[in-house]
Structure 1
Amino acid sequence: MTEKTTNRYSLDLGRTYQTIDHFGASGAWSMDPIGKMWSEESKTRVADLLFSQEKGIGLSGWRFAIGSGGGEGNPDYPEPLLWRGHSDTFKPTSHLPYDWSTHEGQRWFLKAAKLRGVDRIVAMAYSPPRWLAKNGRIAPDESVGQSNLADDRIGEFACYLADIVRHFAEEEIPFDVISPVNEPSWCWDDSRQEGNRYTNEQIKLLVRALHGELRRRNLPTEIDIAETAEIAALLDDEDVQAFDPRLSFYKGHGNEAKHGGKYREYIKDFLGDSDFALMIGNKLSYHSYWADHANDGDRLLAYRERLRQALDRHAPAAKLWETEYCNLNADGAVRDLGMGLALFTARVIHHDLTVARASAWSWWLALSPHDFKDGLIYTDFARRGDPETVLPSKTLWALGHYSRFVRPGAARVELAGPSDKDGLMASAYAHPANRTLTVVLLNYAEQAADVDLAGEPGWPDEMTGYLTSDREGDDLRSFGAVRPSEPLAVPGRSIVTLHGSLPEGAGFSL
């Protein structure tokens, strides 16, 4: 008989890494029709699942989509059920005044988030409004060249965004962060989804203009860029070539070959420019799409190692935020409310936090009507009068193992021990404000894993355990007290979080 392996972990509170800013999700598109058409009871249930630390996963970040005006009745997008092609706009034309009654559904959830204690609100603009776009549409086409926003209208776009930020500040629902571009290296030609490409120089022009408009209005809102679709757009050319010798540099969608300009090397160009880095809070954001599997050159681990190395080379004190993820792989086109996607996602979160050392992590759509692996919560609702179905996924609860317990201000601390992408993975977070410790254990394997936390100073005497597995009811379920001095079995294909108060004398290096 083969002797069972015990996985021992050593805690070192004196060795700290990044401070956590938030865990979040996006209210893009689906939250507007839901917020407008659903009953208060159904909306409240969704809000509790997303934002409540008692009834749900306690998100600490929320992303509000500033629509560009691809709304219902638009001849380009005649099907109202294709929600991602339909968005409100606060200003339908350059000549009309702002209409602050739009985005009604999203505004409901924005208030619900703040009411439940969400710490950080991010406003996002996927595209300029239609009246600022060269082609008058919510996405570019090949004819517009480098971008659908002309350089001589960048100032107008910056004023538009700053006006929106100021309005919400006056309404006492301030945006902590404004994200003016999304996946700017993507082509976006003829997309039914809002989007726009920007060269590096155009991003700099926009950020400088927006920074000036925010300061002129005395608004403390931070600017976040660049929400890259792929990690490779952040890397230096030599990093991309080292990762994949077939490439001399990141080519993305071929924008440079088609239109000229530069759409890559964001760390070097943005954080390597010290004056510009200050305008963006010495931080860059990225999306984890296609960085979630171990084949194709090990995009799970090696990709993030390259990312961390590039950041340490140019700006070791800078922050990274992971701001969007769902499964866009070949198997992504079917809903999965089960444990398979939950574990797949938790493994991505783990590597973003422990290898890339991201300070924030966000999922894509908080609520999805699609037959796709893109939602934390799903609904079959399509039009007014349909049943208001609320279908929480196991992925919701997987994210909750981090978001409910690892709160803003927590520091990731050293937890040395086994790290197997196909087996057991673990990370630890200390909270100096309330002197608590959170440990997240992810078991990707089919068989249970024995864990030994004993013999190390700094552990709480007792912690509360929470479990998500494929069993019904195992949705961040509390399973009672756990003593780190005693062995712990982590079930196969499950996630376990331990949370407890640190003993007196346990110190931090913060």
Structure 2
Amino acid sequence: MLLSLLYAAPVAAAIANQITVDVRQKFQKMDGFGASEAFQRANQIKGTFGPGPYISPDNRTKVLDWLFDPHKGAGLTILRNGIGSSPNNTADHMVSIEPVSPGSPHTKPHYVWTGDDNGQVWLSKEAYKRGVRTFYADAWSAPGYMKTNNTDDWGGRLCGVTNGHCETGDWRQAFANYLVQYLKFYKEEGITVTHIGHLNEPDISVSYASMLADGIQTKDFLEVLYPTLHREGFGNVKVAAGEATGWRQSGDILSDLVSTGGEQFYDFFTSHGYQDEPRLPFDTPKPVWQTEWADLSGGWTTDWDTFGQDGEGIQWANKIQEAIVISNCSAFLYWIGAENSGSNSPLIKINGTDIEVSKRLWGFAHFGRYVRPGAYRVSAESTNGVLHTSAYANADGSLTVLVINNGHYDAVTNFAVNGYKSFKKVTTWLTNNDHDITPGSARVGGRGSFEARIPQRSMMSFVIS
């Protein structure tokens, strides 16, 4: 009761504000929020990769709950699995389902399947138990023998695309068959892969699995993959395009795809946020996903808001909301959910048998828990520039309003809700330096309105049902 009054009661020093929500004005449909455990990170959670000591069983369960459970944790609803291309798992590489070349693109392939897929089959089943239904399988590269540089790392191009000549021939159909076989293996394990991509950051060449492609070369492969999926009974799997390191870089790929008629061969467009953040919408009618981003340079921190560093929780809450509101993203994925790391690349740090959760995860929780797949973003406007807001009409009939107070003062705020059914209760959830999704309630008025005090440098979710 005390906490509820703390949220609802105005104080003399606070400034009055207005947020207006209009459910009748709809924008993009939301697909969800997620993370990846590629490159043996799934096995780190499982406790079967690295020098040890390994994570304890109790902490393994906590990690899984914190990532995927919509009541105990962030409620992430998308798992991005890596499709392996390497002959072995040296240096955390992802093992290919066809590690040895068949000799030519026309020779019958010899696939190898252990039912594990670098720990990702186990992780997918655990995520499914906690409500995940969207599985995005993404290849960082084709196997090396299908590429111009004959290795799965250091870039190179897929044999058969424009400017991708190889003496061994055109491997586009073989790679399409490879991806289809991956889907078949997962289906045999009882897991439905819903989305698939054949590239990761095709604008850079790096020392791990990577494959270069511009928009024209992307189209060259997608025009083979797309009909292959439909022919093999996987026409319901959504095909990705883009996936470059930043918004501008992915935009260049999109321009090439449009100019060459390639838009017919993919279902959603993707980008990462590293080199260029999502500050503008892409000119496409397809859903847009931000599929990988993280603070890779900062040291590990659990802070919400202390020094204004890029890795702090409030910074990432703002990044997610801006990507949705400004760039019309339907999904937002962090790079790694949990790993053994001293950087901010994961949301949860595994340290031997111990674990530590960052405030970034609780920022994600406001979106993952209260903006469920199938929700529509609706109009939400604030009279105060430091109160960044967005609103969502969920498929279950509930309405969620998210507010980040970036100011250094508490903000007494009146909410006017238009076009929604009458309501008598608003549940609130608070995250800041002192709270991790702490429940409370707002003061409900008449005619579709309520009032709450939003503490400085905080995020609050308001759920109307």
Aligned mates of 2:223, 2:47 — CA distance in 1: 36
Q: Are the structure 2 counterparts of residues 133 and 43 from structure 1 closer, same or farther at C-alpha, using a change threshold of 3 Å?
A: farther
How far did 1:424 drift?
Answer: 1.6
Q: Which residue of 2 aligns with 1:229?
A: 245
Instruction: Quote the RMSD (CA, aligned, Å).
Output: 2.6
Distance 1:464 1:89, change over 3 A: same
Query: Which position in structure 1 is the counterpart of 2:279?
Result: 304
Query: What secondary structure sits across from 1:111 in the alignment?
Result: helix
Contact 1:88 1:102 in 2 (8 A): no
310, 314, 317: which one aligns with 1:346: 317
How far did residue 99 of structure 1 move? 2.1
Matched, 1:318 2:286: yes
Aligned partners of 2:144 and 2:205: how far apart in 1?
17
Aligned position for 2:209: 194
Give 2:78's aligned residue. Answer: 61
- Give the secondary structure class of the aligned counterpart of 2:119: helix
- Deviation (angstroms), 1:277: 1.8
Aligned with 1:476 (options 397, 419, 437): 437
Instruction: State the 1:136 CA deviation.
Output: 4.1
Change in 2 beyond 3 A, CA 1:273/1:126: same
What is the aligned counterpart of 1:91 among 95, 98, 106?
98
| 1:163 match: secondary structure | helix
**Partner SS, residue 171 of structure 2:** helix
2:459 aligned counterpart, secondary structure: strand
Q: How much has 1:490 moved relative to structure 2?
A: 1.0
Does the alignment pair 1:112 with 2:126? Answer: yes
**Partner residue in 2 for 1:24:** 34
Aligned 8 A contact 2:147 2:158 in 1: no
Whether the 8 Å contact between 2:32 and 2:77 is mirrored in structure 1 is yes
CA offset at residue 183 of structure 1? 1.1
Unaligned runs of 5+ in 2: 1-11, 49-54, 103-109, 306-311
Contact 2:155 2:212 in 1 (8 A): no
User: Is residue 2:42 matched to residue 1:71?
Assistant: no
Q: Percent identity?
A: 26
> Which of 413, 422, 435 lines up with 2:397 in the alignment?
435
Distance 1:334-1:7 versus aligned 2 partners, 3 A rule: same
- Secondary structure of the equivalent of 1:184? coil
SS state at 1:98 partner: coil
1:165 deviates by 0.8
1:269-318: CA deviation from partner (whole Å, max 9, x where unpaired): 224555x323211x3111122445xxxxxxxxxx623xx2x51xxx3x33
1:254 equivalent in structure 2: none
Is 1:358 the counterpart of 2:329? The answer is yes
For the residue of structure 1 that corresponds to 2:429, the secondary structure is strand
Superposed, 1:275-286 pairs within 5 Å as 276-281=262-267, 283-286=268-271
**SS of the residue 2:86 aligns to:** coil
1:425 and 2:388 are equivalent in the alignment? yes
TM-score (norm 2): 0.84
Asked if 1 retains the 8 angstrom alpha-carbon contact of 2:430 and 2:458, the reply is yes
Query: TM-score, normalised to structure 1's length?
Result: 0.77
Q: Which SS does the other structure have where 2:81 is aligned?
A: strand
Residue 475 of structure 1 aligns with an amino acid whose one-letter code is D
**1:69–1:497: structure 2 CA closer, same or farther, 3 Å change rule?**
same
Q: Closer, same or farther in 2 for the Cα pair 1:376/1:426, shift >3 Å?
A: same
CA distance in structure 2 between the aligned counterparts of 1:17 and 1:477, rounded to whole angstroms = 29
> Is 1:204 aligned to 2:189, yes or no?
no
Moved more, 348-357 or 455-464: 455-464
Measure the CA separation in 2 of the matches of 1:143 and 1:321: 24
Report the AA paired with residue 304 of structure 1.
Answer: R
**Map of 1:253 onto structure 2:** none
SS of residue matched to 1:155: helix
* Superposed counterparts of 1:14-53, under 5 Å: 14-29=24-39, 30-37=41-48, 38-53=55-70
Structure 1 pair 344–132 and aligned structure 2 pair: CA distance change class (3 A): same
Alignment of 1:396-411 (within 5 A): 396-411=361-376
Distance of aligned partners of 1:488 and 1:178 in 2 relative to their CA distance in 1, 3 Å threshold: same
Pairwise CA distance, 1:10: 1.2
Distance 1:176 1:3, change over 3 A: same
Q: 1:270 to 1:134 in 2, by over 3 A?
A: closer
Contact 2:86 2:209 in 1 (8 A): no
Are positions 1:10 and 2:16 aligned together?
no
Partner AA of 1:320 in structure 2: V
Correspondence for 1:132: 146
Q: Give the 3 Å change call, closer, same or farther, for CA 391–345 of structure 1 in structure 2.
A: same
User: For each residue in 1:429-487, what CA deviation from the matched residue of structure 2 results, as whole angstroms up to 9, or x when unmatched?
Assistant: 012x321100111112232222111585636332111111111xx21121245536443
For each residue in 1:189-243, what CA deviation from the matched residue of structure 2 results, as whole angstroms up to 9, or x when unmatched? xx1x3222113222112112211221221112111111121111233xxxxxxxx
Contact 2:391–2:400 (8 Å) recurs in 1: yes
1:96-120 deviation line (CA, Å, top 9, x unaligned): 4322334252211100111221121
Unaligned runs of 5+ in 1: 78-82, 236-264, 293-302, 382-387, 502-510
Query: C-alpha offsets along residues 239-281 of structure 1, whole Å, 9 cap, x if unaligned?
Result: xxxxxxxxxxxxxxxxxxxxxxxxxx2232224555x323211
Contact 1:66 1:125 in 2 (8 A): yes
Structure number with the bigger relative contact order (C-alpha 8 A, sep ≥ 6) is 2
| Cα offsets for 1:47-73 (capped at 9, x unmatched) | 11111111111111111111222634x
8 Å CA contact 2:338, 2:349 repeated in 1: yes
> Which letter does structure 2 place at the counterpart of 1:62?
L
- 1:235-384 correspondence runs (5 A): 235=251, 265-271=252-258, 276-281=262-267, 283-291=268-276, 304-305=279-280, 308=281, 311=283, 315=284, 317-328=285-296, 332-340=297-305, 341-381=312-352
| Contact 1:437/1:460 (8 A) holds in 2 | no
The CA deviation at 1:8 is 0.3
SS at match of 1:140: coil
> Structure 1 counterpart of 2:211, which letter?
N
Q: Distance in 2 between matches of 1:53 and 1:345?
A: 19
One-letter amino acid matched to 2:451: P
Count of aligned positions:
425
Deviation at residue 94 of structure 1 after TM alignment: 2.6
